[in-house]
Chain A
């Protein structure tokens, strides 16, 4: 089956000599929900910029649904919808006009453009705002407008560059639900985000990029499996001065006075509660100390940094 996106030996060196991408390769299957993660300046936006023709590549190949960006650019672009990181619509144009104009760029007749625009305006809660200038929208509405604009020509591949940056939790959740629904209907989605919880809950496959190189490219499940230890924070109904000794578990009291317990991959929560039973405590709440993907992400970046330092020293 043709890949939704296939990137091969992609390099980008900017004018000043900065090498943003160092021969990266990865692919995204049709229908996938794919996360491209990395710290600031890792090369995520450059990669997506090249795919969406906003950045000229230095070398390498990019295919979108089998269409080569070098030889079949128009067909490749027709398959793409792009939601950039920064607000980039005309601040003076009306919300509805922005969508209809965008559809026009794809050669969609005005009557059909109106139908598509109305559909996405309603779907993304912007229907009431269709006749006001886009600058009057709130931050969250502007984000949704950019998503609606990217979808107005019904693309097969949607690229979202930090779509929920600066969006409140409630709106973020509703955007997740919308994106999941879109993906279930067959749209391939590529997402970059700094909210690793977002990537963990939405994406099936993942690539982690740092300093222009792909550090990891695998399924979310297999990546999370590599995590050996997860730390849980337990709130107890008593104030503890010292961490209790729980057979097989590492424990400590954190700065808030709560109990932290490390649970290895070969252990489970039932074993932990068995160990806690003799203490006659009431566990009032339990939560994971940090996002699992965040731990992995930081671990991979730390490892990459150490490898680079060792390489430089050698």
Chain B
């Protein structure tokens, strides 16, 4: 395929994915907005006012970056895993498999669809947060790049989950039993400096801690971890998961007999 045809195929997949999550906005965009608004009200306003400062900031200010990042992570993951598995389930994945679209374009298209939803929800949550606190972004480049890279990373995770999933239960196991606990324990609601030393060390094995803290660094200018290390880790995981996903697609794992 020529570069122009590859571009058309790529944008076709991305636009199809965006159309899909916009069509079902009541399932994709509204629930995270409601859930995050509740977090802001309960944890930020009601409980946060009793907690006082965290890391030198109002508790509400402190949790906003984490909650935005949490919604980006869960939604970019959920978009790819549900869309790609849905295509497998309905058989419409064959539309792409019989076409000449290269596998790396298929993968990139789905990942960008996931990034699209992750960022759309992130944007909605950011707008909501403005109703509860002022948001001053310290490092716009870090903020934008880390949220984009994190959305890419979790979209890739969702893609791999969808490849291996054989039933609908399989697409909710990872978000429920792995992603949610790691996100909650990834410093969304607290600074790990509050933890005993042993649990601080344990927390540093949680990759989501680095993403949340780097994003917090972008907005507030403070972080519990090294930002450079966080970038290296996120990019390293992206390269690893992209290569693995492409290998699975080339092999036809879960999609070809």
Contact = CB atoms under 8 A, between A and B. Distances in A.
B94 A105 contact: no
A102 B8 contact: no
A56 interface: yes
Contacts, number: 85
Contact of B91 (A49, A86, A109): A86
Size bracket, chain A contacts: 20 to 34
A104 B9 contact: yes
Given A54-B256, A105-B101, A149 B95 contact: yes
Interface stretch (A88-96, A242-250, A262-270): A88-96
Contacts of B97: 52-54
B202 interface: no
Contact of A90 (B1, B13, B90, B98): B90
A53 to B, nearest CB: 6
A97 interface: yes
Interface string A41-70: 000001001001111100000000000000
A74 B1 contact: yes
B12 A101 contact: yes
A84 to B, nearest CB: 6
Nearest to B96: A105
B50 interface: no
A88 B102 contact: no
B54 interface: no
A46 to B, nearest CB: 8
23 contacts: A49-B257, A53-B256, A54-B94, A54-B256, A55-B257, A56-B252, A56-B256, A56-B257, A74-B102, A77-B98, A78-B100, A82-B94, A89-B92, A90-B92, A101-B16, A101-B95, A102-B99, A104-B16, A105-B9, A105-B13, A107-B1, A107-B5, A107-B100
Contacts of B94: 54, 82, 84, 88
A272 B19 CA distance: 68
Contacts of B6: 107
Interface in B1-41: 1-2, 4-6, 8-9, 11-13, 16, 19-20, 23
A84 B257 CA distance: 15
A78 B100 CA distance: 6
A56 B16 CA distance: 27
Contacts of A107: 1-2, 4-6, 8-9, 100
Q: Of A46, A84, A86, A105, which is in contact with the most chain B CB atoms at under 10 Å from its CB?
A: A105
A207 interface: no
B225 interface: no
B99 A77 contact: yes
B87 interface: yes
Contacts of A54: 94, 97-98, 256-257
B257 A105 contact: no
A14 interface: yes
Interface in B94-131: 94-102
A104 B100 contact: no
A182 interface: no
Nearest to A46: B257
Given A74-B1, A74-B100, A89 B95 contact: yes
Nearest to A134: B92
B60 to A, nearest CB: 39
B11 to A, nearest CB: 7
The 9 closest A-B pairs by CB, nearest first: A107-B5, A104-B12, A88-B91, A105-B99, A77-B100, A74-B100, A55-B257, A90-B92, A107-B8
A106 interface: yes
Nearest to B95: A102
Nearest to A84: B94
Nearest to A102: B95
